A and B are shown apart, each in its own frame.
Chain A
Amino acid sequence: MSVKPLPPTAVCGVLGRMTEAHRQRADQMAELAEAEGVSWAPSYLLPGLSLRVNAAAVVQRGERHLAGAWNAGGRLAASLLEQEWPAAARQADACGIRAAARGTGVVHGSVSGCQVLYVHITGGAVFFSTRLRWLAETAGTLSPDWQAWTEIISFGAPLAGRTTFTEIRRLGPMEYVEAEASGTVQLKQQHWPWEDYAPQARTDIDAATQDTVEAMAALMRPHLHSPANPMLSGGRDSRMLTALARREAADPGALTAWSTSSDAGSALEELVAAQVAAELGLQHRIITGRYSQFGQDFAEYADAVDHQSSLHFWLMPVARQLRSSPGAVFDGIGGGVLLGGGFADPRHAERMNTQELLSARIQARARYLTEAERVFSPGAAAALRRRAQAGALPLAEQYLGHPNAHTLTSYLIRTAPSVAPAPAKVLGGAQPAVMPMVSDQVAQIALSLPHEAKAEGAWYPALLAAADPRLRGMPTADDLTGTRHHKRRIAGREAARELAGLIRGGPAADLLSEGLRAADPAEPQGVITWQRLLSTQRPQHLIRGLAMLTLWLQDYAEQLTDTEVRSISHA
């Protein structure tokens, strides 16, 4: 029986002291969402609570209390709300709310931290929203967080729950805001169970493989009674999920596998994906962006992620197409870090002292800065390095002696903050997005395996064969080691002019190196200078960060207490 497709998840509200101003702000947030096309279910209004959710969330209301849960995928069981919130967050990777009398209760994040929920604590209440724009545009004056911008430029996203506004935070794994009867509203941290998972010496790999595949299949099954959209690249994680979708789908003919170009200079990913789709007998679509639309795509991506990540701008064309293809999207976020064993300490780690080890773990995620002088003035480049290291150090120190130290550090520096907005907000803004690989069930098994069982992708052949024996031995795009001879869209003349014009025409130009400040993109030699930098991964990443900063300032300058981007240089 086919089930009606869900809309992308949308939630906003306020919990705590309820003044007329607070009520009005909650209404304004809801109106902003409606203007973007969100259709709210009837509002939930209790003393001290105003909550708006759409059909993707599940809510239970009693006489004096309310419980709600949601994630980017939707289709959560109502029985989830009968558990305490930490258990619900863990079981369904759900964010949620538990409200009791007179505005007391909690607003909580998910176990993976990949589900996106923003909070603004002010005036004895917590305002919350799945979209940062709804919070920011209704908040009045806000302060820029230049440390967050340093981290977007250096790593791809702000770390440790920061956002580009000092007053607004994104909830991390098992973080929550509690509104107490005393009127106190505070951000707190529930114990994160992933810290408890450690490699076990004796592990049955075959059983772990079966359990992992079946855990993912169980999470996908509720979404496969209607059309669905697995994302399929040339890699292992996406083909595993695509094969599972094929296996679990009530009607495999209603599945469409989607591929796009990650603008990496090769079409091997799309071609290998086409081979996999053909092998599995699935419909397959390859969507790439038009060169003339680069500027629009970049601006739409910036809006979709609320300017909080600079990594996956190339997803926008496929996200746009997905809007007219109802059904859940399946995304393999977390596969590389949890299943692939690719994020491990260097081989000579045991000979490193503590500081060297911490630096190695941080710099492994901040390699873009090795090319900082090609993009930034010397002062700005040095300040970015200092601030990036300082911002990431507490995260790295937290897990220094943990048996999964490098994995957890990488996860908290890269996967949850930088990568998650792509499935949760870009694809998740088009259709409900399901992320089975960052579920607690999968993380528990994967983090309990010995490192050598996963190192350099050692576990993948067994996982792929368990998902579908036809995947056995099929090469990935990485296995075929192609060369990057395609012109990248971002390095084309059109995109280079767009990005250079944007940055040079805004306040972020103050951070540029002399060479880039002098390179006029209207001139043939000037645009070549920008194109050459955009052709290489690291300078390109830094330039994207500056472009994102410029778009953010265009959108929010009038609300900000300070727009002096040179503050980034003042560590």
Chain B
Amino acid sequence: MPDKPIQTSWLGTRVLPAAHRARRAARKAVRTARSRLRPSIGSLGSTGLDLPTTDLTAPGGPGQVRRCDVVVVSVPAGQQGIPQPWLPVLIAAERHSVPTVLLVTAAEELDQPLAAVVTHLAVTQQPLLPQVQDFAGAERTARLEPGSPPREQTAALLALTGTHTPVEKA
């Protein structure tokens, strides 16, 4: 059971959180600007989307993560756990606040460990959406229009991952 000390020093309670917030805000601003000009999508596995993506399973993948706006992930066929070579990529994404989106193609994929570690989930099939929303909440879930132009799919991914706490639409 985690039994960690609570930060009590001035450095731990004031300076470090403020530095973290500033760093996160700066990265977000840079990423937002870059994603408008030239969005970069990384991928782990076969996404099935008609999008130009950077294959992060290639050598040097973890080093490329920080240049991505989003990493799209799919559950590899016939594999129960997270493929070991993907772990450094996913860890790099966590360290650099790069959102990770699992493309869910079947309800059983929600039981896969990948579904437990990504920041967001997306579906292309409307009937799956309620189950995915039950699993991950409405704010972390979106439907991507199958067959829509790459630009729209990219915009949908950025819209899904761009706002932490969106105001609910009426």
Interface residues of A (CB under 8 A from B): 231, 233, 235, 237, 261-262, 266-268, 270-272, 274-275, 278, 284-288, 290-292, 312, 331-337, 340, 342-343, 346, 360, 363-365, 367, 410, 414-415, 419, 422-423, 480-483, 485-487, 489, 491-494, 524-525, 527-528, 531-532, 535
Chain A residues lying within 8 Å of B116, measured Cβ to Cβ, are 261, 267, 270, 286-288
Question: How would residues 43 to 83 of chain B score, 1 for a CB under 8 Å from any chain A CB and 0 otherwise?
Answer: 00000000000000000000000000000000000000110
Instruction: Evaluate contact between A527 and B84: CB separation under 8 angstroms.
Output: no
Instruction: Evaluate contact between B9 and A346: CB separation under 8 angstroms.
Output: yes
Chain A residue at smallest Cβ distance from B91: A271
Bound form: Cα–Cα A532–B133 in Å: 20
Q: Is B167 an interface residue (CB 8 A)?
A: yes
> Can you list 16 residue pairs at the A/B interface with Cβ under 8 Å?
A262-B2, A266-B94, A271-B87, A271-B91, A291-B133, A332-B1, A336-B2, A336-B5, A340-B5, A364-B8, A480-B95, A482-B94, A483-B20, A487-B119, A487-B165, A494-B137
Instruction: Evaluate contact between A291 and B8: CB separation under 8 angstroms.
Output: no
Instruction: Evaluate contact between A270 and B117: CB separation under 8 angstroms.
Output: yes
Q: How many Å from the CB of A265 to the closest CB on chain B?
A: 10
Q: Is B108 an interface residue (CB 8 A)?
A: no
Other A-B contacts than A231-B1, A286-B116, 18 sampled, CB-CB below 8 A, are A275-B87, A286-B113, A288-B116, A291-B133, A331-B1, A332-B3, A336-B5, A337-B3, A364-B5, A419-B3, A422-B1, A480-B95, A482-B94, A485-B94, A491-B165, A528-B165, A532-B165, A535-B165
- Among A261, A365, A485, max chain B CB count under 10 A is at A485
Bound form: Cα–Cα A284–B84 in Å: 12
Q: Is B138 an interface residue (CB 8 A)?
A: yes
Given the known inter-chain contacts A291-B134, A489-B137, A532-B165, please indicate yes or no for A342 contacting B5, CB distance below 8 A. yes
Q: How many Å from the CB of B63 to the closest CB on chain A?
A: 15
Q: How many Å from the CB of A84 to the closest CB on chain B?
A: 31
Tell which of A419, A422, A482 touches B95, judged by Cβ atoms closer than 8 Å: A482
Q: How many Å from the CB of B117 to the closest CB on chain A?
A: 4
Q: How many Å from the CB of A295 to the closest CB on chain B?
A: 13
Q: How many A-B contacts if CB must be within 8 Å?
A: 143
Instruction: Evaluate contact between B137 and A333: CB separation under 8 angstroms.
Output: no
Chain A residues lying within 8 Å of B139, measured Cβ to Cβ, are 487, 492-493
Bound form: Cα–Cα A327–B140 in Å: 35
Interfacial residues of chain B within 2-19, with CB under 8 A of chain A in the complex = 2-9, 13
Tell which of A233, A278, A367 touches B8, judged by Cβ atoms closer than 8 Å: A367
- Among B1, B8, B136, max chain A CB count under 10 A is at B1
Q: How many Å from the CB of A393 to the closest CB on chain B?
A: 18
Bound form: Cα–Cα A235–B2 in Å: 8
Top-7 shortest CB links A-B: A291-B137, A342-B5, A492-B137, A336-B3, A267-B117, A292-B134, A286-B113
Interfacial residues of chain B within 119-141, with CB under 8 A of chain A in the complex = 119, 133-140
Chain B residues lying within 8 Å of A528, measured Cβ to Cβ, are 165, 167
Given the known inter-chain contacts A487-B139, A524-B170, A528-B167, please indicate yes or no for A367 contacting B6, CB distance below 8 A. yes
Q: How many Å from the CB of B159 to the closest CB on chain A?
A: 15
Chain A residue at smallest Cβ distance from B88: A275
B interface, size bucket: 35 or more
Given the known inter-chain contacts A274-B87, A346-B9, please indicate yes or no for A487 contacting B1, CB distance below 8 A. no
Q: How many Å from the CB of B88 to the closest CB on chain A?
A: 8
Chain B residues lying within 8 Å of A337, measured Cβ to Cβ, are 3
Bound form: Cα–Cα A155–B34 in Å: 44
Bound form: Cα–Cα A231–B24 in Å: 31
Bound form: Cα–Cα A278–B80 in Å: 13
Chain B residues lying within 8 Å of A275, measured Cβ to Cβ, are 87, 91
Bound form: Cα–Cα A231–B95 in Å: 23
Instruction: Evaluate contact between A415 and B3: CB separation under 8 angstroms.
Output: yes
Bound form: Cα–Cα A487–B135 in Å: 13
Bound form: Cα–Cα A423–B165 in Å: 32
Chain B residues lying within 8 Å of A493, measured Cβ to Cβ, are 137-139, 168
Instruction: Evaluate contact between B81 and A271: CB separation under 8 angstroms.
Output: no
Bound form: Cα–Cα A235–B99 in Å: 23
Bound form: Cα–Cα A308–B49 in Å: 49
Bound form: Cα–Cα A288–B167 in Å: 25
Chain B residue at smallest Cβ distance from A315: B1
Q: How many Å from the CB of B95 to the closest CB on chain A?
A: 5
Q: Is B90 an interface residue (CB 8 A)?
A: yes
Chain A residues lying within 8 Å of B136, measured Cβ to Cβ, are 291
Chain A residues lying within 8 Å of B118, measured Cβ to Cβ, are 267
Instruction: Evaluate contact between B113 and A367: CB separation under 8 angstroms.
Output: no
Chain A residues lying within 8 Å of B90, measured Cβ to Cβ, are 267, 271
Bound form: Cα–Cα A438–B127 in Å: 50
Q: Is B97 an interface residue (CB 8 A)?
A: yes
Bound form: Cα–Cα A312–B117 in Å: 19
Instruction: Evaluate contact between A494 and B138: CB separation under 8 angstroms.
Output: yes
Chain A residues lying within 8 Å of B7, measured Cβ to Cβ, are 367
Q: Is B36 an interface residue (CB 8 A)?
A: no
- Among B7, B8, B24, B115, max chain A CB count under 10 A is at B8
Instruction: Evaluate contact between A363 and B8: CB separation under 8 angstroms.
Output: yes
